[in-house]
Structure 1
Amino acid sequence: MILHIDMDAFYASVEERDNPSLVGKPVIVGGSVEGRGVVAAANYVVREFGVHSAMSAARAQRLCPHAIVIKPRIEYYAEVSRQIREIFEQFTPLVEPLSLDEAFLDVTGSEDLFGSAAEIGRKIKYRIWSELKLTASVGVANSKFVAKIASALKKPDGFVVVDADAVQAFLDPLPVGRLWGVGRVTGQVFDRLAIRTIGQLRQMPLNRLKELFGTAGEHYWQLAQGIDGRKVVPDREAKSISNETTFAEDISDPAILRAWFVDLVEQVARRMRRHDLKGRSVEIKVRFPDFQTVTRSLTLAEPTNITRELLEAGLELLFNRLPQRQQPIRLLGFGVSRFDGSEKSQQLLFDQPDRQRQQQLDRIADQIAEKFGKSAIHRGTRLDKSRD
């Protein structure tokens, strides 16, 4: 059985925990309007005004002028995330982090020690609250897809268990938009076909879905049947480490895309260094509103886990090697593969003295995050970065 654990409004909840006077007030974690900032997290109070993550700070301010805006403390959130992961790993070594605030856990082999998957989920949820004073929503199911849907259904502080023999009954009544990959454009196609629930989609012939959506049609059909055979893969066993985010609203502003991309790269680089991994291949993934997904990759001269080097390579792919399209972006992802721990003397994007400085900067940032939970060092481009 698989757990999907998703922290509730993570960044904002951490800020509320550390400053209780914020509780009950509309809180935004993100950049400033002047700096063309973006909303990194929105607590549940401000969400009632229509504010959500990935929204521009300017629009968020128009929707909720009295919101309290707090500058992100990414290193601090990473430290809290590490504490949460330590709790996970006391119950199972099979932990696959998706980002700082969510992860999949395979607890199949842990049930003899700690009880059923549902019991383990409740124990983890209790530990996160009792030790860190943060709430998590938990989904329990026999697949990643179903567990992820379950964790989102009763947020915040949700807990949903889907037994193996109840998957179809669970999925059928849900809106078709719950399926991974069904965005605004695809949803409009389903709406014209009067397909509004997963159950209705499940009744459609597979060939018809392929005619309409190509290979994505089979993807929709399998998910509607509750079919998802992906395993939980810990970072240390993965052939690649990646992170991606699907925006609540499609984004076209390059400054906002760049800010989110920096955060993705930093999380991936930190996970690589945690497991002493260096990668030679960098890849980005971009999904457009029409569900067309484009990937681009670049092979580096030598393996690296230096944040700046990975970032430079990723930005080259994102802004210079994607097809020139006018469509905004729905999903943005970054990953590294072809791991190789050996050091070589070749040069990459920088001369060797500069590489040594960058490695030292990464080590310092990681050590400070590990020991103190926050850093005095801030990378030049973050969620409040101005357009260059």
Structure 2
Amino acid sequence: MKFNVLYIDMNSFFASVEQHLNLELRGRPVGITATEGDHGSCVAASYEAKAFGVKTGTRVREARELCPDITFIPSRHRVYVRYNLAVAEVLDRFAELTRIRSVDEFQLALSGEQKTLEGATELVAQMKAAVANEIGESLRFSAGIGPNHLLAKIAGKLEKPDGFSWLGEENMPQALAHLELDDLPGISKGMGARLAKAGIQDIPSLVALDPRHARKIWNSVEGERFVRSLQGMDVPLPETKRGGYGNSKVLAPEFRQPAEAYLVSRWLVEKATARLRADGRVAAKISVGMNAVDGARWGRSIKTAASQDTMTFQNINRALWRAAWPALKGRDLMSISVQLSDVCLLSERGGDLLSDLKPAERTERERASQAADFINARFGNGTISFGVNKPHPGFFERG
């Protein structure tokens, strides 16, 4: 059996971060609240508190009655986000981090031996050890693998805390037969009622459902996608619609000098224009932005003739960096961004009488860029590059 997706679900993440930061809280019941005082509810609870029946949504006063020794701490979202990124950095060294699903959930793509049960088991053990050693033993996670993101996510919640499970054609649907329909992500009470009306009372019946029937029950294509995913098909997540193509990069320390960051920006331009061409589109505007470690910001946009040529946008990128250079001196950069916008289909681009370019026809340089895409796809990314750049893959990438 081959697995494609690894899903990581941090265990009681908010409370675990607080226990990591405060030795006195380790091994003790902790509740995280949205506000200070006895009003409001818990937004998270440690496993020590959960053992007394405290859970997300439990009122503070009720939690205190259930667990008199509980310690309440107001939520510190920025702190949890920092630890989210720290965990993501560790995970991304072992497998490709494809999505940060939430502040405490991560989705990764498996490759090579990682796609086998033995390889994935070893991978998860290595990740658990790395998170414990590099960040803190209080931060633990449950992991799940599957042929698609839905089954991997469900598997990741089967054994908590600190567990590891898998779902696939060899153990479905029996591995989930003990769960209720509304235990599955995406099955609300309302959807459960619809399924019951259609005669679907349990998970095995849902898995056996004709996906076309599911579309009618959901009154949406999402129903068909959901059931096909439960049946083990690798249904890709729909792409978010966007008005342009862009990449943002939170820079690792070794790339924060302006000269190094500029080379990363050239790599971002290559990535954005390659995606532009892959979708058969052109852009007529490029925006470049920089955020310095000291809080200073710089950004500017330039419009141009609609194009999908990498060198056209590289030249504009260079001009924008030259304009920004006086403001960048003596500063380290925290992040940079490159965005291509004013996008339309190549097939909708008009011609140019002065250059004898017909409507929807590629220029000579655009054809050269397309040829480079073909070679890179066949022999590996970076086989052909458009001048000097500095690839910066990993968890820092945003876009």
TM-score by length of 1: 0.54
Per-residue CA distance 1:43-93 (angstroms, 9 max, x = gap): 123234543335565665566565311122333323322221221122124
Paired position in structure 2 for 1:225: 231
CA 1:165 to 1:159, structure 2 compared with 1: closer, same or farther past 3 Å? same
Paired position in structure 1 for 2:277: none
Aligned length: 264
Paired position in structure 1 for 2:300: 343
CA 1:98 to 1:217, structure 2 compared with 1: closer, same or farther past 3 Å? closer
Paired residues of 1:91 and 1:107 also in contact (CA < 8 A): no
CA distance in 2, matches of 1:111, 1:221: 26
Paired position in structure 2 for 1:19: 22
Paired position in structure 1 for 2:162: 157
Partner SS for 1:195: coil
Q: Which of 100, 104, 109 is matched with 1:101 structurally?
A: 104
Q: Which of 250, 258, 280 is matched with 1:274 structurally?
A: 250
Per-residue CA distance 1:96-141 (angstroms, 9 max, x = gap): 21123211111214749xx712211121122222332121111122
Query: Alpha carbon RMSD of aligned pairs, Å?
Result: 4.6
Paired residues of 1:2 and 1:108 also in contact (CA < 8 A): no
Paired residues of 1:140 and 1:151 also in contact (CA < 8 A): yes
CA 1:219 to 1:178, structure 2 compared with 1: closer, same or farther past 3 Å? farther
CA 1:239 to 1:129, structure 2 compared with 1: closer, same or farther past 3 Å? farther
Per-residue CA distance 1:252-278 (angstroms, 9 max, x = gap): xxxxxxxxxxxxxxxxxxx9562799x
Q: Which of 37, 40, 44 is matched with 2:43 structurally?
A: 40
Paired position in structure 2 for 1:328: none
CA 1:229 to 1:304, structure 2 compared with 1: closer, same or farther past 3 Å? farther
The aligned runs of 1:335-374 (5 Å cut-off) are: 343-344=300-301
Partner SS for 2:162: coil
Paired residues of 1:172 and 1:200 also in contact (CA < 8 A): no
Paired position in structure 2 for 1:28: 31
Shift of the alpha carbon at 1:207?
5.1
Asked if 1:186 is matched to 2:191, the reply is yes
CA 1:177 to 1:227, structure 2 compared with 1: closer, same or farther past 3 Å? farther
Q: Percent identity?
A: 27
CA distance in 2, matches of 1:164, 1:119: 21
Asked if 1:200 is matched to 2:205, the reply is yes
CA distance in 2, matches of 1:55, 1:239: 37
CA 1:9 to 1:304, structure 2 compared with 1: closer, same or farther past 3 Å? farther
CA 1:50 to 1:223, structure 2 compared with 1: closer, same or farther past 3 Å? farther
CA distance in 2, matches of 1:196, 1:232: 28
CA distance in 2, matches of 1:28, 1:272: 35
CA 1:183 to 1:304, structure 2 compared with 1: closer, same or farther past 3 Å? farther
Asked if 1:77 is matched to 2:34, the reply is no
Partner SS for 2:233: coil
**Which ranges of structure 2 fall in alignment gaps of 5 or more residues?**
252-260, 266-286, 292-297, 303-330, 336-399
- Relative contact order, higher structure (CA 8 A, sep 6+): 1
Per-residue CA distance 1:228-285 (angstroms, 9 max, x = gap): 422699xxxx876xxxxxxxxxxxxxxxxxxxxxxxxxxxxxx9562799xxxxxxxx
Partner SS for 1:230: coil
Paired position in structure 1 for 2:124: 121
Shift of the alpha carbon at 1:173?
5.1
CA distance in 1, matches of 2:215, 2:290: 40
Partner SS for 1:116: helix
Partner SS for 1:343: strand
Paired residues of 2:229 and 2:235 also in contact (CA < 8 A): no
**Which ranges of structure 1 fall in alignment gaps of 5 or more residues?**
241-270, 278-301, 307-340, 346-362, 368-388
Residues 83-92 or 103-112, more deviating: 103-112
Paired position in structure 1 for 2:378: none
Q: Which of 1, 9, 12 is matched with 1:9 structurally?
A: 12
CA distance in 1, matches of 2:109, 2:212: 33
Residues 214-223 or 132-141, more deviating: 214-223
CA distance in 2, matches of 1:66, 1:74: 24
Paired position in structure 2 for 1:214: 219
Partner SS for 1:103: strand
Code of the residue aligned with 1:225 in structure 2: it is Q
Paired residues of 1:94 and 1:232 also in contact (CA < 8 A): no
Code of the residue aligned with 1:343 in structure 2: it is R
Partner SS for 2:157: helix
Paired residues of 1:202 and 1:221 also in contact (CA < 8 A): yes
